[in-house]
């Protein structure tokens, strides 16, 4: 989305974590034990109550949660309700922020103090999954969450990103999938009544929308996640079944060439870091449409309240296939947690539909729990987007999406892809030459 990833951990960290991960078995879920009352059935005169040692109440357990949501966290407001229903579990929230979280996770993986539950980006730094930092939640959940089969209540691409064989290293909490944001008022003025559904139509519409001196139909950005919709839609992939890079396949080259063509044919502006904050281009009317995730809805509302009613969202155009970036937050339990059962109880509570709805109403993110996406407070029309029920569009997008490869080298691979896009979009190399170079670098990195 918009975060920098940490570098891969060293082999020293790997070795130390493997030794540390051998402990931490789940504890039994706490229960309230009622007082024991018994009597013999002889007669009132002879009945002698047995001597029974009192059963102590379960000892209170405190679980720690690392939460990178920040000021708009939907998790912290739910702690009191959870503790009221689970009086023997106390929840301690540590607000870390995105960068702070990865620093703490790195330390914990190397043998330092960790948390029980974490908000984490399994797709942004999958190396931690490969290193065994997260616990498999299947033994805790028995394949269900709040009485529903896990496979039925989450988008498959998000579950796939958390899986390794029959193990599941977290449950989706919010999701990021790309859609097309567009200025309906500008489309109407230009006589474009149908949102483009193919890439050829997208090119033509954006050429029509581009006006001198400083209005562009759309924008492109040199960042790996912004390559995903084009790469997948044109039939490309990052790797083949054997793990060898296919980033320079003819289909991948065609995808990057299309992005370059949009800039040279005056359909798009290449938004570079020296152009300033992207929202300035949206507010000024320089950019009429763009492709990004649901979190940008909150950005628009905050940065450009005066544009309320002008924006809409639609499905990204399709090509040989449908393409989108898939990302989002997962709730995971750290392998080193000594309170896995209690941690899972908290995760289940956060995933109740009414609590998942708060991901949207409090933080402005898209809930990953599918039943929550049907609740009235989530499906209600959004005045900022002309009364449109916006999350329905993103739901259709995420269920068709493809997660990026969850390999331990992904952080460095994504950096190579970003740099390659920058080189091609600036015209320093052709898309083919740039991607050929990228494939060599990636194969050297992964040992293929």
Residue 52: what pLDDT? Answer: 42
CATH of 179-323+409-446, one of 3.30.70.1020, 3.40.50.300, 3.40.190.10, 3.90.1170.50: 3.40.190.10
Chunked into runs of 10 residues, the chain (448 residues) has average pLDDT values of 37 34 33 29 36 54 95 95 96 93 91 92 83 93 95 92 92 94 97 95 97 95 95 94 95 98 97 93 96 92 95 92 86 96 97 96 93 94 95 88 82 95 98 98 94
Residue 230: what pLDDT? Answer: 95
| Burial class of residue 381 (count of CB atoms within 10 Å of its CB; 0-12, 13-18, 19+) | exposed
Sequence spans of domains, the chain: 11-30+58-176+327-398, 179-323+409-446
Q: Decide if 11-30+58-176+327-398 and 179-323+409-446 have a common fold.
A: yes
- The CATH H-level superfamily of 11-30+58-176+327-398 is Periplasmic binding protein-like II (3.40.190.10)
Residue 12: what pLDDT? Answer: 34
Residue 43: what pLDDT? Answer: 33
| Residue 147 C-beta-side C-alpha neighbours within 13 Å | 3
Alpha helices in 363-426 (DSSP H): 376-379, 390-398, 410-425
Residue 45: what pLDDT? Answer: 36
What is the CA 20 to chain-centroid distance, rounded?
A: 28
Q: What is the pTM of this model?
A: 0.80
- Interatomic CA distance for residues 384 and 375, integer angstroms: 19
Residue 15: what pLDDT? Answer: 35
Residue 81: what pLDDT? Answer: 97
**Residue of 444, 46, 96, 424 lying closest to 263 (CA atoms):** 424
Instruction: Report whether 316 contacts 324 (CB < 8 A).
Output: yes
């Amino acid at each position: 989305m918009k975060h920098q990833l940490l570098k891969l951990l060293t082999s020293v960290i790997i070795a130390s974590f493997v030794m540390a991960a051998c402990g931490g078995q789940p504890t039994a879920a706490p229960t309230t034990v009622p007082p024991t009352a018994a009597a013999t059935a002889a007669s009132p005169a002879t009945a002698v109550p047995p001597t029974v040692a009192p059963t102590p109440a379960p000892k209170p357990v405190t679980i720690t949660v690392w939460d990178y949501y920040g000021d708009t966290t939907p998790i912290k407001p739910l702690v009191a309700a959870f503790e009221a229903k689970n009086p023997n579990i106390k929840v301690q929230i540590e607000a870390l922020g995105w960068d702070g979280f990865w620093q703490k996770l790195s330390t914990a993986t190397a043998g330092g103090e960790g948390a029980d539950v974490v908000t984490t980006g399994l797709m942004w730094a999958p190396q931690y999954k490969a290193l065994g930092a997260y616990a498999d939640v299947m033994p805790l959940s028995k394949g269900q969450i709040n009485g529903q089969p896990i496979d039925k209540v989450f988008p498959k691409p998000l579950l796939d990103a958390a899986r390794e064989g029959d193990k599941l290293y977290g449950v989706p909490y919010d999701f990021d999938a790309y859609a097309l944001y567009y200025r309906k008022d500008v489309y109407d003025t230009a006589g474009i009544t149908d949102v483009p559904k193919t890439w050829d139509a997208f090119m033509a519409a954006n050429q029509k929308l581009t006006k001198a001196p400083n209005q562009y139909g759309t924008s492109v950005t040199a960042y790996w996640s912004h390559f995903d919709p084009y790469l997948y839609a044109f039939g490309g992939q990052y790797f083949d079944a054997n793990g060898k890079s296919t980033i320079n396949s003819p289909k991948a080259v065609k995808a990057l060439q299309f992005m370059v063509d949009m800039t040279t044919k005056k359909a798009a502006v290449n938004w570079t870091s020296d152009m300033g904050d992207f929202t300035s281009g949206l507010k000024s009317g320089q950019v009429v449409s763009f492709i990004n995730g649901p979190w940008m809805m909150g950005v628009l509302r905050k940065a450009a309240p005066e544009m309320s009613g002008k924006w809409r969202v639609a499905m990204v155009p399709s090509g040989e296939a449908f393409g989108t970036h898939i990302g989002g937050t997962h709730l995971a339990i750290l392998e080193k947690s000594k309170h896995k059962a209690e941690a899972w109880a908290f995760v289940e509570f956060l995933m109740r539909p009414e609590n998942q709805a708060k991901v949207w109403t409090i933080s402005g993110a898209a809930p990953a729990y599918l039943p929550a996406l049907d609740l009235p407070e989530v499906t209600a029309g959004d005045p900022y987007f002309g009364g449109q029920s916006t999350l329905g569009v993103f739901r259709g997008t995420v269920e068709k999406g493809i997660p990026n490869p969850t390999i331990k080298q992904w952080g460095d691979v994504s950096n190579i892809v970003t740099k390659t896009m920058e080189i091609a979009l600036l015209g320093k190399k052709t898309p083919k030459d740039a991607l050929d170079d990228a494939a060599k670098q990636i194969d050297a990195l992964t040992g293929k």
